[in-house]
A = this chain, B = another copy of it.
Amino acid sequence: MGSETADPETAPPPGPRPRPGGRTARTRRQVLDAVLAELGEHGYDGLTVEAVATRAGVHRTTVYRRWRDVGGLLADVLDAAGADDWGPPDTGSLEDDLTGLNEEIHDALTARPPVVPALIAASFRSPQAAEAQRRLWDDRYARCEVVIERALARGDLPAGTEARPLLVAATAPLYHQLLLLGAAPDPQLARRAARATALAAAAGAFTGQPAADT
């Protein structure tokens, strides 16, 4: 895995690459930028290989050969998006950390042009892109686990509280409301979901061993 992630800037994603020349990297950059631009303008439906190639200034054949289809393009974009140094907020309070996290999600899902929703929606069209999307989310949630660890260290959460279910419970309403239910942007949504989850967590809702309710 060491030499695999050597340089995120010049590493071509698919297949063997015996020649990481300057042109290859340049072409990739142009194509991936074109994908994001097309996604923002025409949405999930309008993402055609033809338009991407034209905007990128390359030939259709090149795109088909290197990425095979639209799913390959999206998977590459998603993998590139995950290669950053993002980290969750650190405010000293679980509810505030979750609120900040949710506000980022809220902004991403309601930004114009709607690139993120288009990316998520388009991922349904390709198993390959869906896999990449899943990897990205899994990585993001893993980075967020430190938020729960800090809260545990402060004694704000009962011992045995599991990070993943808590994080999913806190963030899921954002995706559900804005992505699936098509609700209008709501500035209070982020805090409400964060507060509800923090309350439930403090009450022991996310401990592996339930507090015996029968």
State the interface size on chain A (CB cutoff 8 A): 39
A125 at the interface (CB under 8 A from B): yes
Q: How far is the CA of A125 from the CA of B45 in the complex (A)?
A: 6
Q: Evaluate contact between A197 and B196: CB separation under 8 angstroms.
A: yes
- Bound Cα distance from A101 to B71, whole angstroms: 34
Does A58 interact with chain B (Cβ within 8 Å)? Answer: no
If the complex has contacts A168-B177, A173-B169, are A125 and B44 also in contact, measured as CB distance less than 8 A?
yes
| A134 contacts the other chain (CB 8 A) | yes
In the complex, are the beta carbons of B200 and A130 less than 8 A apart?
Answer: no
Complex alpha-carbon distance, A44 and B44, angstroms: 14
Oligomer: number of copies: 2
Of the stretches A75-83, A148-156, A202-210, the one at the interface is: A202-210
Q: Per-position contact with B for A166-184: 1 when CB-CB < 8 Å, else 0?
A: 0011011101110011100
The reply on A192 being an interface residue by CB < 8 A is yes
A98 contacts B by Cβ under 8 Å:
no
Residues of B within 8 A of A197 (CB): 196, 200
CA distance A197 to B199 in the complex (A): 9
A193 within 8 A of B: yes
Contact B205 A196 (CB under 8 A): yes
CA distance A66 to B99 in the complex (A): 47
**Closest CB-CB distance, A128 to chain B, in whole Å?**
12
CA distance A121 to B122 in the complex (A): 9
CA–CA, A177 to B164, complex, Å?
A: 11
Whole-angstrom distance between the Cβ of A82 and the nearest chain B Cβ: 15
Contacts of A192 in B (CB 8 A): 165, 205-206
Query: Which residues 110-163 in A have Cβ within 8 Å of B in the complex?
Result: 120-122, 124-126, 130, 133-134, 137-138
On chain B, the residues within 8 Å of A126 by CB distance are 45
Rounded to whole angstroms, the CA-CA distance of A213 and B205 in the bound complex is: 20
A-B residue pairs, 10 tightest by C-beta: A172-B176, A196-B205, A121-B124, A172-B172, A200-B200, A196-B200, A199-B203, A172-B173, A199-B200, A199-B205
